[in-house]
Amino acid sequence: MTKIAIIGSEGSGRTSLAAKLGKKSTAADITMYDYAKNDVVMTTIDANGYPKSVKPLVTALQLSDIALLCIPPEGPDAFAGECIMALDLMQYKHGIVVLTKADTSYPYAQEELQKNLQKILSPTTLANWEFVNLSTESFEGLDEIKEKIFELDEQVNSEYEELNDKPVRIIVDQSFNVTGIGCVVLGIVKQGTVNAKEKLTAYPADKPLEVRSIQMHDEDVKSAPAGARVGLALKGVQSKDIERGFIISEKEEVAESLVLECTLSSFASPLKLSDVPHIFTGLQSSPMRIEKIEIDGKEAEQVNASQQCTLHLNGSHEIAYRQQDRFIITNLDAKQRFTGYGFVKE
Ligand SMILES: Nc1nc2c(ncn2[C@@H]2O[C@H](COP(=O)(O)OP(=O)(O)OP(=O)(O)O)[C@@H](O)[C@H]2O)c(=O)[nH]1
Ligand SMILES: [Mg+2]
């Protein structure tokens, strides 16, 4: 199944595009649009709570495999820059740059905009993303976007096939109670294959559970592969025990405090001792206080853009992770809020 995130700055045409790709279902700080016909099953996520908050942007990207970055004819603003930074820090692989509201611009101006953007994107993970001119008024570009989505989806699927034999890991994005069934969670199989009757654990709360049954787009299945969006009925836990961001797997590390080997982005504001950046991993986030900064093995008062450092971070609630997981560092007080990335120090 195809999972798409629509991102970009305020008023860039995100919701208009999402509405063309599916039927609106659940809405909160992200809005999902579903589409299912013949063999095509597609979920499109509008990160509508962004730019007010960075969390919906991270959430939409974590729940999807293909990003549509919307840029209006006025060109990229600071928030578009922030979206590009977020994609780059997350090493987000697949996407399309959508030049929106093309009916309000001119072909020459759109070409110029594309050239300027290509320059900005060339040092980032978006360097090879394709461009599409779109108008949701005249429908120009809509079929082209869909075609490109399906091309990218083939790459995504072959990448997931390689993850099928790994230990199963499911990221939960919703948890609720269904009368007569009990706890039901919705989430994404990030790797491995989940099987009915399998015994797993929900982290960070460390709650053992059994997968009673599995649904994929409202149909019962015996197992679901990597990349699937699933609904799981769970035995042994209550919906209040499980929150958005929980990981269901055989084993995760759990900690409140972390030591991260970090790299700051080239546009980051400095991080100082006692600052409290918000640290994201998967769908979890936690404000964490900087207790110590080390640069080249020496203690430092602050770390600047483009520098590498070791951050000793102290948080107040547990997060679940694995050694190889990428952490994203955000500074909600900075103008450009995506500050850097890091990995747990060995
Ligand atoms: N002419 C024209 N107008 C468009 C197009 N797409 C969006 N708009 C208009 O641009 C405005 C913003 O579009 P939205 O789709 O709401 O953009 P958004 O990014 O979701 O905006 P916010 O969620 O408010 O930040 C609306 O008034 C739309 O009607 C288009 O292709 N052509
Ligand atoms: Mg919107």
Class of domain 254-344: mainly beta
117 φψ region: left (φ > 0), alpha (ψ -120 to 50), beta (else): alpha
Which pLDDT belongs to residue 28?
85
- Domain 169-249 sits in CATH 2.40.30.10: yes
- Answer yes or no: same fold for 2-161 and 169-249: no
> Which token pair is 90?
């997350």
Sequence-distant (≥ 6) Cβ neighbours of residue 139 within 8 angstroms:
none
Kindly give the interhelix angle for 142-161 and 14-21, rounded to the nearest 10 degrees: 70
How far is Cα 168 from Cα 159, in angstroms, rounded to an integer?
15
The verdict on the CB of residue 9 being under 6 Å from ligand 1 is no
Which pLDDT belongs to residue 216?
93
Instruction: Kindly state the average pLDDT of the residues 302-329.
Output: 97
Instruction: Kindly state the average pLDDT of the residues 155-180.
Output: 96
Q: Which residue has the tokens 């980051």?
A: 268
In this predicted model, what pLDDT tens digit does every residue of 40-60 receive, in sequence order? 899 999 999 999 999 999 999
> Which token pair is 157?
């699927």
Which pLDDT belongs to residue 269?
95
The residue ranges of every structural domain in the chain are 2-161, 169-249, 254-344
Which pLDDT belongs to residue 37?
87
Closest atom of ligand 1 relative to the 10 alpha carbon: 25
Closest atom of ligand 1 relative to the 16 alpha carbon: 15
The structure's pTM equals: 0.96
The two counts, helices (H) then strands (E), for the chain are: 5, 25
The verdict on the CB of residue 71 being under 6 Å from ligand 1 is no
What is the CATH code of the structural domain delimited by 2-161? Answer: 3.40.50.300
Contact 291, 319 (CB under 8 A): no
Which of the four pLDDT bands, split at 50, 70 and 90, describes residue 26?
confident
How far is Cα 263 from Cα 22, in angstroms, rounded to an integer?
38
In this predicted model, what pLDDT tens digit does every residue of 185-215 receive, in sequence order? 999 999 999 999 999 999 999 999 999 999 9
The verdict on the CB of residue 48 being under 6 Å from ligand 1 is yes
